[in-house]
């Protein structure tokens, strides 16, 4: 997925992106904040856990939580990483998404 994106960029003569992605699924609170300059934002434990998924990911990989894995396992090939320590979250089961089934 990420490799294909970067391969297309390289073939077009552009620099590849170096990125990592983390995804967790669950409820969030969202809204518009600000009095002069408005911004739409989201908050909550799901957002914080997603940030932990991203920080535990690797370059060019999509790291998902066990919760998200449960939702996508029938449509995507994933590799288990086991339960990894996430800051202020404890051990979280994590998976790398490898591609569509």
Catalytic status, residue 75: no
Catalytic status, residue 52: yes
Nearest of 93, 34, 37 to residue 63 by alpha carbon: 93
Report how far residue 11's alpha carbon sits from residue 28's, in angstroms, rounded to the nearest whole number: 39
Task: Select which of 3, 52, 75, 89 is catalytic.
Answer: 52
Task: Select which of 3, 9, 87, 101 is catalytic.
Answer: 87
Just list the catalytic residues: 52, 87
């Amino acid at each position: 997925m990420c490799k294909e994106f970067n391969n297309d960029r390289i073939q077009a003569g552009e620099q590849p992106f170096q990125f990592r992605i983390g995804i967790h699924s669950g409820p969030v609170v969202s809204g518009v904040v600000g009095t002069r300059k408005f911004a739409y934002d989201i908050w909550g434990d799901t957002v914080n856990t997603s940030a932990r998924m991203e920080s535990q990911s690797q370059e060019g990989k999509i790291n998902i939580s066990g919760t998200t894995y449960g939702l996508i396992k029938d449509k995507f090939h994933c590799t288990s990483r086991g339960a990894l320590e996430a800051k202020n979250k404890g051990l979280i089961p994590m998976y790398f998404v490898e591609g569509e089934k």
